[in-house]
Amino acid sequence: MIRDPETFEALLDSVRRFVRDRLVPAENQVAQTDEIPESIVQEMREMGLFGLTIPEAYGGLELTMEEESRLLFELCKTSPAFRSVIGTTVGIGSQGILMDGTDEQKAYYLPKLATGELSASFALTEPDAGSDAASLRTTAIRGTDSEGDHYIVNGTKRYITNAPHSKIFTLMARTNPADKGAGGVSAFIVDAKTPGISLGKNDQKMGQKGRAHL
């Protein structure tokens, strides 16, 4: 349901103008440089596009599914790379925190995701775990040392959209090696600066110049 049609139509109009005046003219540059100019990403932040699905209580626009779909129809009238900029934060990167995060995690991360200060990726897929996601091999084993409780994560992910741009990853890893199915898997919020994370090469995908999938 559209809650406030007038406000929503104004938002749609501003996205239409943004696509026509800023994104379409930048398509060639993005295709040639494989980069989206930071000035465009900043405009997306200022329009609130990183917070489409995040509740208003956390600074987002809290669009309904219908509203989000209609807005994305407009945003996708240009290179799909531009939608990818916000795609992982709006969707798989933030929704796990919203659904299953603690109150502290929600209060800390969601406002920063909504403004685009932080952007998020979802790290599930592995070289040998795609459709059958529950077969993932990355492990997160709890250990203790002088620095306190922590998990040691080992594994390789692939096809992680926006990986080089994201500040946090929602990472899926096996915390119970005895359980080979989904029951042995837990989700972690991992800071992208965590020591030991290295990024692979960017996969070249048709129509996706300008956004990385590692």
Ligand X SMILES: Cc1cc2nc3c(=O)[nH]c(=O)nc-3n(C[C@H](O)[C@H](O)[C@H](O)COP(=O)(O)OP(=O)(O)OC[C@H]3O[C@@H](n4cnc5c(N)ncnc54)[C@H](O)[C@@H]3O)c2cc1C
Site of interaction with ligand X (CB under 6 A): 88, 121-125, 130-131, 159-161, 205, 213
Q: Toward ligand X, which CB reaches closer, 11 or 118?
A: 118
Give me the amino acid identity at 104.
E
The answer to whether the CB of 163 falls within 8 A of the CB of 145 is no
Cβ contact 214:202 at 8 Å = yes
Q: C-beta of 146: minimal distance to ligand X in Å?
A: 33
Query: What is the nearest approach in angstroms of ligand X to the Cβ of residue 67?
Result: 23
Two tokens, residue 108: 């800390």
Distance in Å, CB of 133 to ligand X, minimum: 7
What is the rounded CA–CA span in Å between residue 46 and residue 1? 25
Which of 176/208 has CB closer to ligand X? 208
Residue 214: name the closest of 155, 139, 156 by CA: 156
What gap in Å lies between CA 5 and CA 212, rounded to an integer?
Answer: 35
Q: Which is nearer to ligand X, 78 or 88 (CB)?
A: 88
Minimum separation from the CB atom of position 59 to ligand X (A)? 23
Taking the least distance from each CB to ligand X, the nearer of 78 and 170 is 170
Q: Provide the 10 A C-beta neighbour count for residue 137.
A: 15
Q: Which is nearer to ligand X, 94 or 161 (CB)?
A: 161
Distance between CA 138 and CA 24 in Å, rounded? 40
Cβ at position 199, least distance to ligand X in Å: 13
Pair 185, 134: CB distance under 8 Å: yes
User: Which residue lies nearest ligand X, judged by its C-beta?
Assistant: 130
Token pair recorded at residue 146: 């002088």
For tokens 């929704």, what's the residue?
Answer: 95
* In the complex, minimum distance from the CB of residue 114 to ligand X, in angstroms, rounded to a whole number: 19
Q: Which is nearer to ligand X, 159 or 188 (CB)?
A: 159
